[in-house]
Chain A
Amino acid sequence: MAENTISTPTFKKTENMEKVWEKPSILFDVPNHYCPGCGHSVAHRLIMEVVEELGITDRTIGIAPVGCSVLAYNYLNVDMQEAAHGRATACATGIKRIFNDKILFTYQGDGDLAAIGTAETIHTVNRGENIVIIFVNNGIYGMTGGQMAPTTLEGAKTSTSPEGRNLDLMGHPLKIANMLAILEGAYYVTRQSVHTAKAVRKTKKALMNAFKYQIEGKGGTSFVEIVSNCPSGWKMTPIQSNEWMADNMFDFYELGDIKTPPKEGK
């Protein structure tokens, strides 16, 4: 038995067949540590597709958070820094202010971005730092074993809200994207998901917009929230978790653009 039993399936090349899809070359061809059915791997792939298609691999720097995606640099084959918990956008700011020609993105979860890193998140966007913030919101602390997150829905049971999130005691789930959208420095704020093929396509378009805005250097921060599932943390199968997400999360975290750039010429 080979040491590594998980491998990318290979298909026989057949004549007269058109290649319609392949993994981006800048996604490392390794098994990832994410749980089966988790949205992180799809989000990772989309970012690398966008970076590759825009031809910016040689000047892109990513910032990984603390959380499930702490090891994102093992999958994303671009230069990356691993930031302290919540501080990814501060790191990105530090780099972008000196190296304005570099393309910066942060990749952060809800605990990282909307709890411990709230101050950095708000002030980075308020300064209108010309970076892309990618926010994966699965309503839970996945890495540490399923504790309540700032984004956990009312009544949701987690390991630190065993009777369900009680709004009187534990506060309300935080719609941080909506909060950020009111800031002058926010240029583009959108909320997407990756649970269906259609949603994946829309998320890719949103990421493409966000990176393009940064390349064009148009005034402000682009913020792409991806509402995602956490089968392990939610204690559901991947399919159940996606269904639960569609039935429960999207009512509160409405999908779609929250703030779009002003139309040209206006």
Chain B
Amino acid sequence: MSKKLLMKGNEAIAEAAIRAGVQGYYGYPITPQSELLEYMSSELPKRGGAFVQAESEVAAINMVYGASGAGARTMTSTSGPGFSLMQEAISYIACAELPCFLVNVMRGGPGLGTIQPSQGDYFQAVKGGGHGDYKMIVLAPNSVQEMADFTYLGFDLADKYRTPTMILTDGALGQMMESVQFPEYNLDEHLVDKPWATTGRENGRKQNVITSLHLQSEQMEQINLKLQKKYREIEKNEVRYETIETEDADFLIVAFGLSSRVCHKALELAREEGLKVGLLRPITLYPYPYDILNKLADQVKGMLVVEMNAGQMLEDVKLAVNGKVSVDFYGRMGGMIPQPDAILSKIRELYSAHTKTKMEV
């Protein structure tokens, strides 16, 4: 474990990526993630990696495709508008089963929007923002420490499943400073063999091809079935979440990333008033923690989803709960951050409504 350092979230990701052995970083400036690009430009070449400032996010993600296909640990980072530009290549990467690590430091949209923090790219990240049936593992940190921790995890899971993985975070977490410690990480123990990589036909071995093109429908269906099998495996093994004071809760807040921290504060305020509120924080947004939510739906009398968007994860909570309890929503958009007192008011209102209804039944 390294000594405690005070760092911005964006920088913590960059530092963790270098420690996790990233060999190539390709990026393009966009607020609020530019610190990550800048950190890489000064640090990565010194520490043996390649840094390229690409001409666009489109080029950057295709550089990732190439380097990953050749067997390298590789990554890019961006914010919403740039993430939109990357969707085509991410679809290719998922189909060609290339491991790589991506970061979206979300800002308010749609359109050019604002540079203030948001969670408006949830659907795009979690549901597959590009064409075709694919998924990628989406990690949602809520602290600078987790920005670092999930970067290591992101690279490892990418290699393990030959899939793109990503951190979905926001401009506030990206730019705020907190203390962070970098864990010991013996790279050799984490690197995997990549016999499929295009490295040149060394020792006359058979040709390796990286492609997402399979013109015969029968063959393309097989490729899809293989991907789906992998996604079921990921859903079985990689669900991560945090529960806070859920043991005795009869009302549940569900929030990820930055909004989960605000909700934690609101939970403390509610508990002071004697309201038995718990918090479920999904850490993997894909695979989503449907099972624990469904279980908690048997225990609590209502749920409140809090997001910095118009209600995107809300749909997954509803899917998980499947009508067992009522699910309400509180969200802010356009770069606004929900405040604890506003969430508390919402909790009070819903808490009495739902607990009363249940008692009458």
Contact = CB atoms under 8 A, between A and B. Distances in A.
A154 to B, nearest CB: 30
Contact of A93 (B63, B69, B88, B203): B63
A95 B66 contact: yes
A70 B212 CA distance: 11
A95 B67 contact: yes
A115 interface: no
Interface residues of B, number: 41
Interface string A50-89: 0000000111110110000011010001111111100100
A91 B62 contact: yes
A82 B96 CA distance: 9
A238 to B, nearest CB: 25
Interface in B33-72: 49-50, 52, 54-56, 58-60, 62-70, 72
B56 A119 contact: yes
Interface in B76-91: 88-89
B208 interface: yes
Given A79-B200, A81-B69, A120-B55, A98 B211 contact: no
B20 to A, nearest CB: 15
A244 interface: no
Contacts of A87: 58-59, 62, 65, 89
A181 interface: no
Contacts of B203: 58
A92 interface: yes
Nearest to B207: A77
Contacts, number: 137
Contact of A82 (B26, B54, B68, B212): B212
Contacts of B54: 90, 123
Contacts of A205: none
A98 B50 contact: yes
Given A79-B198, A98-B24, A90 B209 contact: no
A99 interface: yes
B184 interface: no
A84 B207 contact: no
Q: How large is the interface on A (under 10, 10 to 19, 20 to 34, 35 or more residues)?
A: 35 or more
A80 B63 contact: no
Contacts of B231: none
A79 B24 contact: no
Contacts of A97: 24, 50, 52, 63, 67
A246 to B, nearest CB: 34
A94 interface: yes
B55 A79 contact: no
Contact of B200 (A59, A63, A83): A59
A44 interface: no
Contacts of A58: 200-204
B70 A102 contact: yes
Nearest to B200: A59
Contacts of A84: 62, 65, 88-89, 92
A91 B68 CA distance: 9
B275 interface: no
Given A58-B204, A81-B69, A93-B52, A102 B63 contact: no
Contact of A90 (B62, B70, B88, B204): B62
B198 A61 contact: yes
A94 B209 contact: no
Given A61-B70, A83-B65, A99-B72, 14 more contacts: A58-B200, A59-B200, A60-B201, A73-B209, A82-B209, A83-B62, A87-B62, A90-B59, A91-B66, A94-B52, A94-B63, A98-B24, A102-B200, A119-B58
Interface of B: 23-24, 26, 49-50, 52, 54-56, 58-60, 62-70, 72, 74, 88-89, 92, 96, 198-204, 207-213
12 contacts: A57-B204, A60-B201, A80-B210, A81-B211, A90-B54, A91-B63, A93-B52, A94-B52, A97-B52, A98-B49, A102-B200, A120-B58
| 5 cross-chain pairs, A with B, having the tightest CB-CB distances, nearest first | A91-B66, A94-B63, A94-B66, A82-B211, A90-B62
